[in-house]
Amino acid sequence: MSDEFYMDLAIKEAWKWQILTYPNPAVGCVITDKFGKILSIQAHKKAGFAHAELNAILTALLNFSEFKTKFEMKFENRVFLASEIYDFILNNHNYLLENATAYVTLEPCSHIGKTPPCANLLKELKFKRVVISIKDSSDIAGGGAEILQKAGVEVKFGVLKDKGDELIEPFLAWQNGNFSFLKLGSSINGILKGGLITNKASRKKVHEIREVLDLLVIGGNTVRVDRPRIDTRLASGKNPPDVLIYSKERSFDTKIPLFSVKNREVMITSDINQALKRRLVMFEGGDGMIKNLPNFVTHLLIFFSPNLGVLDNFKVNLDLKLLNLGTIDGNFYGWFKRSDTNCNLF
Amino acid sequence: MSDEFYMDLAIKEAWKWQILTYPNPAVGCVITDKFGKILSIQAHKKAGFAHAELNAILTALLNFSEFKTKFEMKFENRVFLASEIYDFILNNHNYLLENATAYVTLEPCSHIGKTPPCANLLKELKFKRVVISIKDSSDIAGGGAEILQKAGVEVKFGVLKDKGDELIEPFLAWQNGNFSFLKLGSSINGILKGGLITNKASRKKVHEIREVLDLLVIGGNTVRVDRPRIDTRLASGKNPPDVLIYSKERSFDTKIPLFSVKNREVMITSDINQALKRRLVMFEGGDGMIKNLPNFVTHLLIFFSPNLGVLDNFKVNLDLKLLNLGTIDGNFYGWFKRSDTNCNLF
């Protein structure tokens, strides 16, 4: 299969964790052994935890029983730091991945953050090729390709570059000050209302996203009608997002559950630009929110239920570009970008 | 990666050609070499042409330049029969696929149809393993696994069996007398009307499907309002489907283009059970058709455009099960099964 085939697998894996990785970008990594067999398809999943390359290298090495036994003896039944894994791999890889190929959606990092540099690990393990979708242009993390090339590793850039750019665009917008997106839960015939639409797995994913947000924007009408809690009980239950109620009306029934969730701020304002003061902002809502969607909300994450109903659809004239599609336990979701907006990043 | 990973690739590939293969079932095949590297991901694409296994074996062998050169010398720039390819492979494979593994969604056939038996080919090429999702229970084609096992090939059944069953269910219904499905073209907020909804690639796919139908059912209202042609001009342009206009009214303006397409029969009836006299039947339509969908229409094929509009959605209370999802040039499509019906096949 072509380099594009493996890179596509890496990009799709990374999209599964989009948003959840900030302040790190969503990155995916596929590793094939010296014969071309796929050993792992992995991604960076959460800030502070292993980078995509480290996850993929660890998963790849666990295919080998000699490594697996040693790993289990050391780490089984206990939590471990990414840096511990990194060191363990350096000491125990025994060149099992010599001449392997790594397909990475973003140039491997060259800096020591919470984990040591991935480029160095690929070099030490004697990878033959590192295929990269897009260059890391940051001053801090960039330069990984140079480390690899100097060590004689073949580096290929630009494989599925457009898809690689789309994958990292939300992160770059966040880095530039703000990434705002609208999350919807819809039936496949466009119904947002009338109770729970999507399945539990979809709602759990939304709660996981809420935990990493800087701000969640919701309409005044939704607050009044749905009387929501806007918490994260289907995920860890911690870190409820700060909430901005986008409304001209300033007074709400304070018995509405969202006001009594601890460790959160609630703002009520008709000035939607207040949302731009936060970096990672999710809009949730229905018809009213979509019709009044600010221009800075460039992306949509829509969860779809395959159960059709007879209520009215949400209505808006908006051309979207499909970026990624995934299934989630019988429901499915899509990441879309508005065609009428631009993050102005490239 | 697991057997399930490769089988999933084979199943997804096969769904791309669902319907188009009749009177053969949709079948997918992935081949990995003796080291586990993926050499091909293929499917059966059209009756009379190569089976999935033959397509996958040919594609796999074309990875080897010694085979590719010989193949090009013999077949380049001319049309060839599947049986010619089969013989050519038998004479020229040079055991390049010895110890390879084939992942097939359906037990390889044991009979000589328009192409010789696939089980025999896998045996002659000395495959090590053949991993199969579901057994072929037909008297004619079944028994492939026995041929393989007798020759010492390792055969594993039942990998992703549920997905394998879902893939072949439309074909089995067809074989039992009738497979009927509803095709829709919808925006992702449920709009079917107001001109062209989906992109050209989606509409081309629909025309390709129309070419193999026994019957296309359309509502009287659609005929009157849209004045359609219902031809196959975006595909080969040949084989326009016979049309059943599902309507109480018997007289239509004969200037409506569909009546002047050659080589087709047009019926007008309010007795929808007439459709059951044909084996492969596609329903096309809008709100009215969906609301009056007969119970024997068990599946839906929905093409989705990511462009939102402000018209009303189609409305129906219907719970669907998502079977397969695919992208098509910026649009996407899903195969769904109605939860309130059963093909009664298993």
Domain ranges within chain A, ordered by starting residue: 3-174, 178-338
Given a cut of 80, whether residue B112 has pLDDT beyond it is: no
Do B3-174 and B179-338 show the same overall fold? no
Respond yes or no: is residue B66 known to be catalytic. no
- Span B181-186, average pLDDT: 96
* pLDDT of A237: 86
Task: Give the integer Cα–Cα distance in Å for B135 and B127.
Answer: 19
* pLDDT of A344: 46
Task: Give the integer Cα–Cα distance in Å for B216 and B182.
Answer: 10
> Under a CB-based contact definition with an 8 Å cutoff, are residues B202 and B328 in contact?
yes
**Strand ranges (DSSP E) for A222-342?**
243-246, 266-269, 280-284, 297-305, 307-308, 318-328, 331-338
Query: What are the two backbone dihedrals, phi and then psi, of residue A133, each rounded to the nearest 5 degrees?
Result: -75, -60
* pLDDT of A346: 39
Edge-first strand listing for the sheet containing A280-284 = A266-269, A243-246, A215-219, A280-284, A179-187, A297-305, A331-338, A318-328, B307-308
- Span B185-203, average pLDDT: 93
CATH number of A3-174: 3.40.140.10
* pLDDT of A332: 98
* B277 close contact with A: CB closer than 8 A: no
- Span B116-141, average pLDDT: 88
Edge-first strand listing for the sheet containing A154-156 = A38-43, A28-32, A101-106, A129-134, A154-156
- Span B61-66, average pLDDT: 96
Longest dimension (CA), chain A: 66
> Under a CB-based contact definition with an 8 Å cutoff, are residues A26 and A14 in contact?
yes
**CATH class of the region B179-338:** alpha beta
Nearest by CB to residue A321, choosing from B39, B304, B330, is: B330
Least confident of A206-215, A244-253, B137-146, B173-182: B137-146
Q: A289, A237, A290: which is closest to A263 by C-alpha?
A: A237
* pLDDT of A140: 65
- Span B82-103, average pLDDT: 94
Q: What are the tokens at B61?
A: 């062998």
Say yes or no: domain A178-338 is CATH 2.60.40.10. Answer: no
Decide if B186 and A186 are in contact by the 8 Å CB cutoff.
no
Mean pLDDT of all residues in chain B? 92
Decide if B309 and A322 are in contact by the 8 Å CB cutoff.
no
3-state helix, strand, coil in chain B (%, to 5): 30, 25, 45
Count CB atoms within 10 A of the CB of residue B322. Answer: 18
Q: Which residues of chain A have pLDDT under 50?
A: 344-346
* A112 close contact with B: CB closer than 8 A: no
What b/e sequence results for A115-139 when a residue is b if at least 16 CB atoms lie within 10 Å of its CB, and e otherwise? bbbbbbbbbebebebbbbbbbbeee
Half-sphere exposure at residue B100, Cβ-oriented, CA atoms within 13 angstroms: 28
For chain A, the first-to-last Cα distance in angstroms comes to 30
Helix-helix angle A65-75:A52-61, to 10 degrees: 110
Strand, coil or helix: what is B126? coil
Strands B307-308 and B215-219: unpaired
- Give the pLDDT confidence of A3-44 residue by residue, as tens digits: 999 999 999 999 999 999 998 999 999 999 999 999 999 999
Least confident of A173-182, B59-68, B77-86, B180-189: B77-86
Least confident of A187-196, A275-284, B120-129, B138-147: B138-147
* pLDDT of A93: 95
Q: What are the tokens at A298?
A: 């460039």
Which DSSP state fits A108?
P
Question: Searching chain B, which residue's CA lies closest to the CA of residue A339?
Answer: B307
> Under a CB-based contact definition with an 8 Å cutoff, are residues A57 and A83 in contact?
no
* B112 close contact with A: CB closer than 8 A: no
Count CB atoms within 10 A of the CB of residue B192. Answer: 20
Q: Which of B4, B13, B53, B169 is catalytic?
A: B53
* pLDDT of A117: 87
* Chain B residues closer than 8 Å to A307 by CB: 318-320
Decide if B307 and A327 are in contact by the 8 Å CB cutoff.
no
In B303-342, the residues whose Cβ lies within 8 Å of chain A are 304, 306-322, 325, 327, 330-332, 334, 336
